[in-house]
Structure formats: structure tokens, C-alpha cells
Amino acid sequence: MKRQAYWTYAVAFLIILSSCEYGGNGQLIGVQNRPVWYQPDPYGMLYIPMGSFNMGPSDQDVPYSHTTRAKTVSVQAFYMDQTEISNNEYRQFVYWVRDSIVHKILGEEMDEEHLVVENWYGEELDPPLINWRMYIDYEDPEIREILNEQIYLPEHERFYRRREVDTRKLDFEYYWIDFKDAARKGPQGAPLRERGKTDRSVFIKRDVINVYPDTLCWVHDFTYSFNEPMTQMYFWHPAYDEYPVVGITWKQARAFSIWRTQLMNSWLAGMGSSFVNDFRLPTESEWEYGARGGLRASPYPWGGPYIRNSRGCFLGNFKPLRGNYIDDGGFHTVKVTSYSPNDYGLFCMAGNVSEWTSNAYDESAYDFAHDLNMDYVYDAKEDDAPVLKRKVIRGGSWKDIGFYLQTGTRTYEYQDTAKSYIGFRNVMTYLGRAKGDDL
């Protein structure tokens, strides 16, 4: 009887306790003690408010391509990189992959003196970086042999016997969830997950991609053109650190975005904070909305129908005249903060390098895509026809004529190609409707 009474009192106490925390004296008050949270502005990104705009050409369709038409669409609030991703920013990704491979190869055989465990702010690095200067003089012949076999170029491939990382081994394994596939309904009207596919792993996609840029793009993009100095120096030399990264395929740009997301979320988890939305490539509608900078019916990001300012200076990096690449102040690419930003504060939304978007290219996409966060995607497989591997690029580049700098001009490249005139920037969907809603 005593034990029964004890359990009765214990259950009653738990009911009373839970009613105080969750019951609200019988009132519906929601879960209490939830943390107050505000969207932090990601470093290097600018807030783009939600809005609707007339997407499509703001001038005549010069080539009569009929791939666009005027269409009013609405875009929710998001963050966008103020600049194109630079060589130095992408190099952080490459170095992370390189160090991760070495960690996997050597494991616990590395001493602390061969690791960089804190950054220059004093924050702990997890995982720590490799102190490569120490590895050059590493005395352990066994570890030196492992590195020579697993990470460095074999001796017969070295140039002047220089020990260099074999970039062909810098592979990155990454995952993403195909939400469109998970939500797609079958012939019976039921979602796929309710028709025998209850294991959510079928919607988790995996890929492995080599992350090193194709530095030879400077040579193979132009026949009978001397671009070997750019191939040799552009990606790794400090002189080009603030120039846009090029030679990146669409898949590499997606892999970088996923890595950047995990880098941020790992840090937030360590701080006990909630995750944020993913970094990703912009949709075609987001890119154009950001490029317009809040200006309506303007063919260029800076406004107005002209490509020069009142003093006769060009406003972007492109090919202004036949055979003349320098009248705009550039030559090949220029620094990512060159020229004046648009009214949202975004640099080089016209010219410098064209930019990958997340969307597949279809000439008639404007006719069937939705007017709410317009988006058309197709995850092309390796054995798909080339026409299915087309991805939209926007903005024009240093080698393009002025037509391609217009905010409404769309064209494409194939997702498995890397060009010396294509880069990218990231976006992140804002958590909430708009800034100021939480005040």
C-alpha cells in the first residue's frame, strides 16, 4: 500500500509540474522558455528585401532569341553575397578539403605542433588546420612516405622536383536533400513517401566532386590566344586573391555552397545557437531581382539605358569594342569590388564574370514556372543528354558584349564545363518575412 501511495503522489506531482510548464493553467500559451532569436547578417552578405518586379527584358530582344518575356514575379527576402566569390574565399574551401584528407590519412599520428588549433582571433578550429610548413621538414620517414604517396604529386610528375599537392586527389563528398522529389505525387495522388518509400534516405543525394578549379580554362577557352600566364598564376598567386574565382563547374559551385553551410552550422552548433538557412546558388529570379537593385524597367544594374556615366566612363567590365578589352578599365577579370555597386550595394552584377544560378535552362521556362519565387530545377545525371545539363548563367563577363550585361538577358553553359569567364556568388533565404517583424 505504501509503494502504491508513493507512485500515486509521484504521478500527481509530475502532472502538476507539467501543467505549470506546458499547460498554462489550462490555457493555450505555446511552449514556454523558447530562446529569443534574431537572424544574424552573414559576413559579406547584404539583406535584399522581399518584393515583386517585372522580370525579363527591359529593352528589345536584340538577337530575337525569344527566351524571355516580361513577367511579374514575387521574391521573398534573402541575403546575397556583396561580391562574387573570390579566389581567396574559394581557396579556403580547397585547403579545408586538403587538410581533411590528411587528417583522414594520418589520424592520431599527427602531433599538436604540426596543427594550427586556433585562428588569429583566438577561436578554436575544429577540425584544426595542418601546419604545412612543419610537414616540409617532417622527420618521420614513414609519415613522409605516406604523404608522398597519398597527397603529393609522384616524383616523376614533379616540375623541377618541387613537392606539390596532387590536386586530382582533392575530392569532396557532400549530401543534399531533394525536397521536390520527396514532395512529388504519384499517379495515385499520394506522395512517394506514402507509397512504400518510407525510408527518407531515398531522398538524400550524395555526390563526390573534385574541388580544384580548372586552371587550364584560360587556355582551352580561346584558340590562338596567349593566356598561359593566367593558367600558371591566376588561382594561387596572392596578386589575384581578390579577383573572382573562375574555372568552376556548376557542381563545384554547389559543393562549395554546401560546404559553406556546414562550416557555418558547425560553428553555430558549437556556440549553442540554432542553424540558419542554407547557403546556395541564387535562383534566376533572385539573381535578377538583386541585380536590378530596386530599380524598375532598367536594363542595367546602375539604372538608365546607357553603359557609360556622364563623364564617358564605362560602368562595368566587358568587351566594349571589337578587339578592345581595355577601354572599360579592365582586361581579363578585375577585383570583385571594382566599379560602383548597385542600389542594393552589390558589386559587379553586370560584367567581370558571368554567374551560375541554381536553375536549369529552358527557353520556355518563363511560360510555365510559377510567379512565386520562380524556380525551375533539374538534377541532370552523368548519362543525360547534353541539353538537360544546361544551367542558367547571368550578368555577362569580361569577354562579352554589352547586351549580356543587361539584367534581363539570360543564357546558359553546361553544368560539367568550367570557363574562364564564369564565377558565382551565394544567397541565403532570410528567416522570417522581413526585417523589423520581430520588433
The residues with which 48 forms a beta bridge, in sequence order, are 78
The predicted structure's pLDDT at residue 137: 44
The residues with which 413 forms a beta bridge, in sequence order, are 391
Give the DSSP per-residue string, 152-191: BPPGGG-STT---B-GGG-EEEEEEE-HHHHH-B-TTSSB
The predicted structure's pLDDT at residue 257: 97
| Cβ–Cβ under 8 Å, residues 293 and 287 | no
The residues with which 53 forms a beta bridge, in sequence order, are 73
The predicted structure's pLDDT at residue 130: 63
Q: Which of 270, 260, 266, 281 is nearest to 429 (CA)?
A: 281
Predicted confidence (pLDDT) per residue in 405-423, tens digit: 999 999 999 999 999 999 9
The alpha-helical segments, DSSP class H, found in 172-279 are 179-183, 217-220, 228-233, 250-270
Q: What span, in angstroms and rounded, lies between the C-alpha atoms of 434 and 138?
A: 54
Q: Is the dihedral of CA 242, 247, 253, 256 positive or negative?
A: negative
* 138's grid cell: 617532417
Q: Which residues of the chain have pLDDT under 50?
A: 136-137
* 168's grid cell: 586530382
Predicted confidence (pLDDT) per residue in 145-162, tens digit: 777 777 888 888 888 888
Neighbours of 2 (CB within 10 A): 5
Q: Integer distance in angstroms from the first to the last C-alpha of the chain?
A: 56
Backbone angles phi, psi at 175, to 5 degrees: -135, 155
Residue 359: in which H helix or E strand, if any?
A: strand 354-360
| Cβ–Cβ under 8 Å, residues 200 and 193 | yes
Whether this prediction's pTM lies above 0.85 is answered by yes
Distance of CA 186 to the CA centre of its chain: 32
The predicted structure's pLDDT at residue 40: 86
* 374's grid cell: 520562380
Q: What span, in angstroms and rounded, lies between the C-alpha atoms of 40 and 438?
A: 13
